[in-house]
Amino acid sequence: MKDKVNPDYLDKVKQLNADEAERILSRMGGKLPKRFIKEKLSQEEALALQLEIEDEQLQEWRDKVAKLREEDEKRDKKKKD
């Protein structure tokens, strides 16, 4: 888990309304909720870390989907030949 909070994500957190922040906090997993509850992290830091984690996961998902689509296209092309 990252200990240093990216300032870009802290800026994003400052733009969230209370409902959006609550939704993001509800999605926290792993050690992050424990660190937040034990007050080792402020709410803003926890939100920033969660946003960063979600962005990383989204990018990984996009990469996997792109790879699957490429494989499907290759398979379809072979079927046509």
Q: Give the per-residue pLDDT at 1.
A: 60
What are the domain boundaries of the chain?
A: 7-80
Q: Give the per-residue pLDDT at 79.
A: 81
Q: Give the per-residue pLDDT at 41.
A: 87
Q: Give the per-residue pLDDT at 76.
A: 87
Helices and strands in the chain: count of H runs, count of E runs: 4, 0
Helix axes 7-14, 43-80, angle to 10 degrees: 100
pTM recorded for the entire structure = 0.79
Q: 69 pLDDT band (50/70/90 cuts)? A: very high
Q: 60 pLDDT band (50/70/90 cuts)? A: very high
pLDDT in tens, 4-54: 899 999 999 999 999 999 999 999 888 888 888 887 889 999 999 999 999
